[in-house]
Amino acid sequence: MTVALEIENLTKDYEVGFARKRRVRALDGLTLTVERGEIFGFLGANGAGKSTTMKLLMRLIYPTAGRASILGCDINDIAMHARIGYLPEHPYFYDYLTAREFLEYCAELFGYTRTDCRQRAAALLALVHLDDKSWDKQLRKFSKGMLQRVGLAQALVNDPEIVFLDEPMSGLDPVGRREIRDLIASLRHKETTVFFCSHILADIEVLCDRAAILQKGRLAHAGRLEDLRGRAGTRAMELVVAGATAEQLRAALQPLPAAQLTQTPGGARIEVPSERDVDAALAALRDCGARLVSVQPVGNPLEDLFVANQN
Ligand SMILES: Nc1ncnc2c1ncn2[C@@H]1O[C@H](COP(=O)(O)OP(=O)(O)OP(=O)(O)O)[C@@H](O)[C@H]1O
Ligand SMILES: [Mg+2]
């Protein structure tokens, strides 16, 4: 595996206050490596320093200390920036251009031929599922979710080897989230490395190989999602059942004293302390003739870890 992104001791102090005399440390000694082809999630609460990291990598702001390299080149190597893509947190658009014109313009900046620019713009607008009735509308008439799609298309205009996405799902409705989620997942087949930040854990859980959690500018955890989940402890499971009375269920669950039974209008809800207890609970339920409706984890271990890191 080759390295796509290497961050070493990256630190950023913002100068604030009337005379810019006060310094606020937004990022504190971040060290992180992302392999090529990985989808890497960068998690953190509001103000944790995610966007600051992205802006430092894109050279929109400059570090107080530390260094980083992308695709084996120092971030100050301007030529390398033509091989990467970036979706900012608050993208700014030329309001009076249409979506198609804007993307053709972005493609032109990378030096593609006129025909190529046209083809790329159309292919990308289709890829981000922008309704083709909107392709020739001015961007000032677009909703937040529509602009987000245009922003994502823009980030992919040069077939980047690595793409940096700052909250790619923000402003999207549930259907839009799923479409963009699928699109990001599809980048894996093109071997595009994806580095994206979010505070929406579900997106990270579905998409990422590895993730890092940032807390007040410091790296709190980094690793494979299974390991992060493991660190968050065992997860309790909930079984929803129907077709048996509470007495029958209570009797069947006697060998499992840790199981908690709650009656519901349609049957019962049984909570067991860990995934390991699910098989035993299922066997007991089968014996008393109960019908299984669903099995799912209670809460979200990654979420618990995330919340624990806020304090
Ligand atoms: N230009 C700036 N000047 C001063 N402080 C800043 C500036 N930009 C960010 N900060 C501060 O740096 C910290 C990190 O901000 P950043 O935008 O990187 O967080 P974030 O993790 O992206 O948060 P969010 O989830 O809200 O987007 C915050 O405390 C913020 O107030
Ligand atoms: Mg941000």
Query: pLDDT tens digits, residue range 22-58?
Result: 889 999 999 999 999 999 999 988 899 999 999 999 9
- Give me the mean pLDDT over the 258-285 stretch: 87
Q: Quick one: pLDDT at residue 232?
A: 66
CATH code assigned at 270: 3.30.70.240
Pocket test for ligand 1, best of 11, 15, 25, 52 (most atoms within 8 A of CB): 52
Gap from CA of 110 to ligand 1 centroid (Å): 30
**Sign of the C-alpha dihedral, residues 91, 93, 98, 103?**
negative
In this structure, the chain runs to a length of 311
Q: pTM for the complete prediction? A: 0.83
Residues 223 and 270 in one domain: no
Question: Looking at the predicted structure, is the pLDDT value of residue 304 above 80?
Answer: no
Q: What is the pLDDT of residue 311?
A: 54
306 domain residue, yes or no: no
The pLDDT assigned to 310 comes to 62
Q: How far is the CA of 89 from the centre of ligand 1 (A)?
A: 11
Residue of minimum CA distance from atom 25 in ligand 1: 46
Is the residue at 308 inside a domain?
no
Same domain (yes/no): 295, 213: no
Per the structure, the count of domains in the chain is 2
Distances in Å between the Cα of 52 and the Cα atoms of 37, 60, 63, 209, 255 are 23, 9, 10, 23, 53
- 217 and 247 assigned to the same domain: no
pLDDT 10s digits, 225-267: 878 777 766 778 899 999 888 888 888 888 888 888 888 888 8
305 found inside a domain? no
User: Of the residues 175, 208, 231, which one is the last residue of a structural domain?
Assistant: 231
pLDDT tens-digit map of 89-134: 988 888 899 999 999 999 999 999 999 999 999 999 999 999 989 9
Work out which ligand 1 atom sits closest to the CA atom of 27: 14
Residues with CB under 6 A from ligand 1: 14, 16, 24, 26, 44, 46-52, 89, 199
At 63, which CATH number?
A: 3.40.50.300
Predicted local distance difference test score (pLDDT) of residue 309: 63
* Partners of 154 in the β-ladder: none
Q: Which atom of ligand 1 is nearest to the CA of 61?
A: 1
Asked if 36 and 115 sit in the same domain, the reply is yes
pLDDT tops 90 at residue 158: yes
The answer to whether residues 144 and 205 belong to one domain is yes
Enclosing domain of residue 268: 237-300
